Structure 1
Amino acid sequence: MTAFFETLGLPYEWAWFIATISGILLIALPVMLAVAMVIYVDRKVLGAIMLRRGPNVVGPFGLLQSFADGLKVFLQETIIPSAANKVIFLLAPIITFTVALAAWAVIPFGDGVVLADINVGLLYILAISSLGVYGVVMAGWASNSKYPFFSAMRAAAQMISYEVSIGFILVCVVLWAGTFNMNGIVEAQRGHGLGFVNGFFFNPLLFPMFVVFFISALAETARAPFDLTEAESELVAGYQTEYSSMAFALFWLGEYANILLMCSLCAILFMGGWLPPFEWAPLYYVPGFIWFLLKTFFFFLLFSWIWATVPRYRYDQLMRLGWKVFLPMSLGFVAVISGYLMATGHFTSAAPVVEPASVTPGEIVEAAPVAQPSGGQT
């Protein structure tokens, strides 16, 4: 895109700047539109399972209901409690929303269709998603109210607990793919199952990690049955209880952007991302981003289905599952998978050190190439 703007006569610096801003808008605006649509889908699925209609008044089939709700909160008055820390109170939803959008910078929507194709894309995702807890804690503390404060403490402990097991699951994926690059992880899944199934989910050692990752994603985004940030007994909203108008809407948008992010990660890490389900030539006529969107939407439907059918966990059950089941299980699979890969020769040994020949002063010696690990890129 930078080269395109350079052809218009712009210097490289301005071409790069405009291309970067354009790329950010090409991701942020569709993500916001997708958030509005998945809120509608969420309510429709919930209504269907509960034998009611769901949104059906605003627009055809109720499709404009989310936009009407957005307009309503935009026109409401922003109320700040008199005892709240005003700066941190207003900064918390901005941090939550910004962090939720920033994580999409390394998500590949297709082959090379990514804003920042960096070699440590998976580490970037892990780091950015960990920052979301700051917005939650800031909102609970700055409200100067006991219910939001209790909810923020619950949410922080919950998010940190399940990020640990998610980290070990990502280690398992990286070991098999041989790269932290998101495109490289997708390419490593090409024909992984029996030579024609695209996806790590078909792997007997990685399938349990896929299940644990999906459940941990529910807990990380505070979705049912782990929606304990909404409080178990008191009838309040949670850490965002004191918020109104667009401040509350930013929390809402950030929450659903994080849910979509986790659904997309399930598709990228275990279901082949933008690859078709099978290595069959006619399937490649469908654009890669269509496969990616279909897989992401499939996981979001699972999120909605679980929300409507599974009862809420108690908090002690939630923490026991994270620390006493998922953490040892994921850590054990790191050892098992790394041992299996070592035993089967999945990792290539480093290139032997070549002794340099006698070099005359001023002569340039070309370095020996370094062997790359199989199954991916670095």
Structure 2
Amino acid sequence: MQLVLEFLALPFVQDVLKILFILLLFAMPLGTFMTLMERKWSAAVQDRIGPNRANIGSYRGRGLLHIAADALKSIFKEDLIPKGADKFLYTIAPFFSFMSAVAVFAIIPIAGPIGDFKFQVTDVQPGLLFIFAITSLGVYGAVLAGASSNSKFALFGGTRASAQMISYEVFLGLSLMGLFMVYGSTQVSAIVEGQGEHWFGLIPKWGVFTQPLGFVVFFTALIAETKRAPFDAPEGESEIVAGYFVEYSGMRWSSFMLAEYIAIVGVAALITTLFFGGYQVPWLYHWESAPQWLVTLLQFGKFASFTFIFCWFQIQLRWTVPKFRFDQTMALGWKKLLPVALLNTVVTAIIIVALA
């Protein structure tokens, strides 16, 4: 037993356990559930019943079995490579999209630390820069898929995706500048700890209150990064069929789709972490005598509930807001979000200097 405890105390083993917990027990299951939730919510918006036909005997589980049915369908579906395609680039393109969606969870703390143990895979000092770098890697998956498929529709989709994602990276970075100035750190854990404080003992110092304009720009830019409606021009079905992954099938196609839904969870988790206090539960300091396990459970519950709310909000946007044309998407970024992001940075700097 002592050897087991010593083995579990090794930093490498703890990192592996964190990765398994955050990915296999939080991000992946929630991302997979989003596939069903989107279809169910779209049915509710359109006054339909939604998927409910998959069954085991007489049990249908209100559509839950469709998750397993989709997985089995993708596994046994024929996986084709188009004639004339670059096989190597065509094969690795889904990997870039999937890994960029998953890697962002490495720096997100899902609960407060217990002693020296942190519920965070890695707590790098330049955490905001890590977010900026990882979210930009997703463009490689779209570009490689479009360029290697030997299809003009896929190429057009990849070109649109690269232009859109690279452009919105600019606004994404500028929106985080104000957050860095307010909390004085680029470390994600330090930003979350800073949001645990209160004004007048009542109002939490969440990023959405200290940086409302930054929140609007950041949220809009992240939605554009996921290439979902209303920013789904790279996948415009009425114009370029399905965009950069039009030639994909089987598990490769499923990898792109799973990456998209995991990115939904990633966006929600980042919004919760940076602008809604992360795992910090407001007014929890009144419960100083509460046991540590209860505090940690409340913190994880708060983080998970806010993440789920923002996942739902993204799906609601998808089915209620009409899509933008590609020129409208780019104009929104460069003509609207860029001035707002610059104004927010300047005003934040002036206020901080004045208060100092």
Q: Give the TM-score taking structure 1 as reference length.
A: 0.84
Structure 1 CA distance, aligned partners of 2:110 and 2:8?
29
**AA matched with 2:19:** I
C-alpha distance in 1, partners of 2:106/2:174? 23
% identical equivalent positions? 39
Structure whose CA Rg is larger: 1
1:227-284 per-residue CA deviation (whole Å, 9 max, x = no partner) reads 1111263361110000010101111111111111111111111111111245573698
Q: Indicate if the aligned counterparts of 1:223 and 1:307 stay in contact, CA closer than 8 A.
A: yes
Q: Deviations over 1:161-205 (max 9, x none)?
A: 1111110111111110111111211111124455423212223xx
Deviations 1:9-35 (Å, cap 9, x if unpaired)?
6599xx444333332222221221111
Map residues 41-80 of structure 1 onto 2, 5 A cutoff: 41-58=37-54, 59-80=60-81
Contact 2:42–2:319, Cα closer than 8 Å, also in 1: yes
Matched with 2:20 is: 25
User: Partner of 2:235 in structure 1?
Assistant: 230
Task: Tell me the CA shift for residue 121 of structure 1.
Answer: 1.7
- Aligned equivalent of 2:116: none
Do residues 140 (structure 1) and 114 (structure 2) align? no
Pick the aligned partner of 2:218 from 213, 217, 220. Answer: 213
> Aligned partners of 1:5 and 1:295: how far apart in 2?
39
What is the one-letter code of the residue matched to 2:88? V
Any idea what SS the aligned residue of 2:243 has? coil
Gaps of 5+ in 1: 346-378
Answer 1 or 2: which has greater helix percent: 2
For residue 94 of structure 1, what is the aligned residue in structure 2?
95
- Who is 1:298 aligned against? 309
Offset of residue 5 of structure 1:
8.7
Distance 1:162 1:238 in 2: 19
Residue aligned with 1:119, SS: coil
Aligned residue type for 1:169: S
Cα-Cα RMSD: 2.2
Per the alignment, do residues 333 and 11 of structure 1 end up closer, same or farther by CA in structure 2, a change over 3 Å counting? closer
Matches within 5 A, 1:328-343: 328-343=339-354
Question: Are the equivalent residues in 1 in contact too, given 2:154–2:240 (CA < 8 A)?
Answer: no
- Aligned AA (2:307): T
The question of whether the paired residues in 1 share the 8 Å contact of 2:32 and 2:262 is answered with no
TM-score by length of 2: 0.89
Equivalent residue number for residue 248 of structure 2:
243
When structure 1 is superposed on structure 2, of 150-159 and 53-62 the one drifting more is 53-62
Change (3 A) 1:63 1:338: same
1:350 paired residue number: none
Unaligned runs of 5+ in 2: 55-59, 114-118
Contact 1:56 1:62 in 2 (8 A): yes
Letter in 1 for 2:326: Y
